[in-house]
A and B are shown apart, each in its own frame.
Chain A
Amino acid sequence: MAILEVSDLKQYFYLKPDFLAKFAGGKEARIIKAVDGVSFSMETGEILGIAGESGCGKSTACLAVAKLREPTGGAILYKDRNITKMSKKEIRNYRREVQLIFQDPYESLNPRHTVFDLVAEPLRALTDKSKATIKERTMETIEMAGLQPDEYKSRYPHQMSGGERQRVGIAQALVLEPKLVIADEPLSMLDVSIRAGILDLIRDMSKQMNFSCIYVSHDLSILANISDRLMIMYLGRIMEMGATRDIITEPRHPYARALIAAIPIPDPAYKRPIPEIKGEVAQPIDPPPGCRFQTRCLQVMDICRNTEPPLKELKPGHFVACHLY
């Protein structure tokens, strides 16, 4: 059963016309289309990876799903209920069931709280469980996150390494037994040697607790490792979406192809192909009609300049937004 169904999600930001433009004759406000018509659905227990360069809208889309920002348009259905139209009580429940794992474990933990308090906080805030239950559940979760509860419960964030802190961050997210976890670059601040442990933790917990996970990263090597399905975004739109292995081994969209060709491989014998792409990432401000990728695509055709390519299903579950197909 689909736990989450996002359809035609739009998140626009309006730029105030700058002083000079106003002076010259009141130019209209410009629009940043950070997310512009994104649709996807997620199954229970599935890990969906969202990849793309900075500014592609991957984090913005997550904020909307986490209900931390009201989307400009579109619908986000969680268990068939539109989250923008939920009652207060439903919202409270939604906040319990949808949790976030943050990027920076150095900044996201309150330095004045012990590990126990940090992990117990969501239970205290969002449930009416008894003190004893909260204690039990908190200790359990700390242990699940791979930390010895008795050793760590009274530690403060500054007494822990980055990896340990991120485990606390994960414990905070999991203590409420969420149904959907959104992890936004949870590894980018951590050293390579311990990343695999955190990845395993997220994956194992997702299986064990049967939650779905949106994993956002710009690092495709990591996404290739953890996600079941992959979604590649460019300037607010989905370029390609499908099973991770299909996309990594046989990307279809010219952008996905370039992105994957650019990934360095930890093998000195490997000769990486030159990615077929030109120019640099544009801003998603007042995008031109047609395909978002037209300015950088080497296979651009006339139709790309005036018609936005729809997301076509090339084979079951594999979608590409490109006029080549």
Chain B
Amino acid sequence: MILDIQNLKTYYQTEKGAVKANDDITLSIDKNEVVGLAGESGCGKSTLIRTIMRLVPKSAQVTARKMTFKGQDILSMPDKEFREKILWRGISMVPQSAMNALNPVYRVGDQCIEAIQAHTDYNKAKCVEIVEGLFDAVGLQAGMMKAYPHEFSGGMRQRSMIAMSLVLNPALVIMDEPTTGLDVLVQERILRNLKEIRQKAESSASILLITHDISVIAEMSDRIGIMYAGRLMETAESMELFNEPYHPYTLGLKNAFPSIKALDRELISIPGSPPDLLGDLPGCLFAFRCPFAIPECETTRPPDMEVKPGHFVHCIRTDHIEEFRKRAGDKKTWQSSKSAI
């Protein structure tokens, strides 16, 4: 196992109380695996990666039962050691809006080389060789290393960021919305590049892919986690999650997502909006939008049920799932939930 997180909590302290941006997240990533995390804005997916990368503000309160990377405890590790041993070498990140993450006054190639030199004592020639290889892998010509970021299109910048994240051959690459804001053909090319890179044996990085686009997650991931209001609602193998979803929120998302392969399917939105993460809500945070909620849902916090090996669901009503699946395809079902407009 590359990354093992158990019961991670990240609370932001504010004047009004704690914002529970991540609340009891349990997630693991195996070697060579692509795990996709999907969720709406404000569901805590970006907080999760910031917590892993130690990018949360100092005031944030981070606790976990366990948080290890290749067996090393990365929760209590001193900052200096984390920076030297884990960052880039172990875990690298392609940040959100990677389009703007490059320094405009340095050549793109030099920025990649800088990342290598900051963490190793390789000589320049070796660095250039590494970057050339990766530029080639993401479909950029080696000559492009001499270019400045403004000479690149959005897609090229994003690809150079992906190349940069791979320079030290990390075991885990975290990608935060890697294709958001890019045109569909550019997105397609980047996803294809990622797949090609993964097929090459030498770089067998695991990927934690975070996006709100379920189609991208479906295409790329081996395993999928669905986040909502700071909690992980459901995790399962991709096929299983799509074919046999257990959580009502997952059922709702599936309904809401358009597909050009199902032109006749009516899209159904989930009424209401996510709750405020401030304060103490005792029960399931989806209960207010859930058409299948019973009074108990609002008072009892659901445990992570393992409904099948490796398939975890954060819901107390999983024994009624057959009925839910039948009813979820009907628009009227959703209009009956508490927050229906």
Given A191-B40, A220-B260, A222-B258, A199:B183 Cβ within 8 A: no
Q: Which of A54, A193, A263, A267 contacts B269 (CB 8 A)?
A: A193
B270 and A194: CB pair below 8 A? yes
User: Is the Cβ of A221 less than 8 Å from the Cβ of B269?
Assistant: no
**Size of interface on B: residues with Cβ below 8 Å to A:** 42
Which residues does chain B contribute within 8 Å of A68, judged by CB atoms?
Answer: none
Closest to A264 in B: B215
The answer to whether B259 and A267 touch across the interface, beta carbons within 8 angstroms, is yes
Which single member of A161, A225, A275 contacts B185 (CB below 8 Å)?
A275
Whole-angstrom distance from the CB of A251 to the nearest CB of chain B? 11
B156 contacts across to A, CB distance below 8 A? 280
Residues of B within 8 A of A258 (CB): 185
Residues of A within 8 A of B58 (CB): none
8 A Cβ contacts from B250-280 to A: 252-261, 263, 267-271, 273
B191 touches A264 (CB 8 A): yes
Given contacts A248-B263, A267-B242, A269-B239, contact A218 B184 (CB under 8 A): yes
* Chain A residues, Cβ within 8 Å of B253: 192-193
B residues less than 8 Å from A224 (CB atoms)? 258, 260, 263
User: Does A281 touch B at the CB level, under 8 Å?
Assistant: yes
A265 at the interface (CB under 8 A from B): yes
Q: Check if A209 is an interface residue, CB within 8 A of chain B.
A: no
Determine which of A53, A163, A200, A280 lies in contact with B184 in the assembled complex, contact meaning CB atoms within 8 Å: A53
* A260-B155 contact, Cβ under 8 Å, with A192-B214, A268-B239: no
B259 x A54 contact (CB < 8 A): no
For A272, the closest partner residue in chain B by CB is B219
Cβ–Cβ < 8 Å partners of B215 in chain A: 221, 263-266
Give the number of chain A interface residues (Cβ < 8 Å): 48
Q: 0/1 per residue, A248-272, Cβ < 8 Å to B?
A: 1100000000111111111111101
Question: Distance (Å) between the CB of B328 and the closest chain A CB?
Answer: 13
Does B187 lie at the interface of the complex (its beta carbon under 8 Å from any beta carbon of A)?
Answer: yes
* Residue-wise interface mask of B (188-199) relative to A, using a CB-CB cutoff of 8 A (1 in contact, 0 not): 100110000000
Question: In the complex, A200 Cα to B212 Cα: how many Å?
Answer: 21
Inter-chain residue pair count (beta carbon < 8 A): 130
> Do A196 and B341 have beta carbons less than 8 Å apart?
no
| A196 and B218 in contact, given A191-B40, A224-B260, A280-B153 (Cβ under 8 angstroms) | no
Bound: A12/B238 CA distance, A:
47
If A225-B267, A259-B184, A262-B184 touch, does A197 touch B273 (CB 8 Å cutoff)? no
Q: Is A77 an interface residue (CB 8 A)?
A: no
Does B269 contact A194, Cβ atoms closer than 8 Å?
yes
In chain A, residues 130-151, which have Cβ atoms closer than 8 Å to a Cβ of chain B? Answer: 146-148
User: B201-221, CB under 8 A of A: which get 1 and which 0?
Assistant: 000000000001111101101
Let me know if A300 is at the binding interface, CB within 8 A.
Answer: no
Residues in chain B near residue A280, CB distance under 8 A: 153, 155-156, 186
Of all chain B residues, the one with the shortest Cβ separation from A269 is B239
Distance of A248 Cα from B267 Cα, bound (Å): 17
Residues of B with C-beta under 8 A to A274: 192
The residue in chain B whose Cβ has the minimal distance to the Cβ of A148 is B341
Known interface pairs A194-B270, A197-B341, A245-B263; A266-B257 also in contact (CB < 8 Å): yes
- Are the CB atoms of A163 and B273 closer together than 8 Å? yes
Name the residue of chain B whose CB is nearest to the CB of A222.
B258
Separation in Å of the B194 CB from the closest CB of chain A? 13
Cross-interface CB contact of A265 among B153, B261, B267, cutoff 8 Å: B261
CB contacts (< 8 Å) of B333 on chain A: these are none
Residue of B with least CB distance to A194: B269
B184 adjacent to A196 (CB under 8 Å): no
Report B180 CB to chain A, min CB distance, Å.
10
Tell which of A53, A222, A259, A265 has the most Cβ of chain B within 10 Å: A265
CB < 8 Å: which of A192, A261, A272, A277 contacts B40? A192
Given the known interface contacts A197-B269, A199-B267, A218-B184, the answer about A267 and B221 at a Cβ–Cβ threshold of 8 Å is: no
- Of chain A, the residue at the smallest CB distance from B42 is A191
Q: Which residues of A contact B185 (CB under 8 A)?
A: 53, 258-259, 262, 275, 277, 281
Question: Which of B41, B216, B254 is within 8 Å of A264, CB to CB?
Answer: B216
| Cα–Cα, bound, A91→B54 (Å) | 57
Measured in the bound complex, the distance between the Cα atoms of B40 and A163 in whole Å is 12
Closest chain-A Cβ to B154's Cβ sits at a distance in Å of: 8
- Residues in chain B near residue A161, CB distance under 8 A: 273
Chain A 179-223 interface residues, beta-carbon cutoff 8 Å to B = 191-200, 218-222
How many Å from the CB of B183 to the closest CB on chain A? 4
Asked if B341 and A266 sit within 8 Å, CB to CB, the answer is: no
Residues of B within 8 A of A277 (CB): 185
Give the Cβ gap from B228 to chain A, nearest Cβ, in Å: 9
Please report the C-alpha to C-alpha distance between residue A260 and residue B260 in the assembled complex, in whole angstroms: 9
Query: Do the beta carbons of B214 and A266 come within 8 Å of each other?
Result: yes
Residues of A with C-beta under 8 A to B271: 197
Q: List 24 A-B contacts (CB under 8 A).
A: A54-B183, A146-B341, A164-B273, A192-B257, A193-B252, A195-B267, A196-B256, A198-B269, A200-B269, A220-B260, A224-B263, A225-B258, A248-B260, A259-B185, A264-B213, A264-B215, A265-B218, A265-B261, A266-B215, A268-B221, A269-B242, A270-B261, A274-B192, A281-B185
Taking Cβ atoms with an 8 Å cutoff, the residues of A that contact B are 53-54, 146-148, 161-164, 191-200, 218-222, 224-225, 245, 248-249, 258-270, 272, 274-275, 277, 280-281
Counting from the closest, the 4 A-B pairs by CB-CB distance are: A264-B215, A196-B267, A196-B269, A197-B269
A196-B258, A264-B216 known, 8 other contacts, Cβ within 8 Å: A192-B214, A220-B184, A220-B260, A221-B215, A221-B259, A222-B258, A262-B184, A265-B261
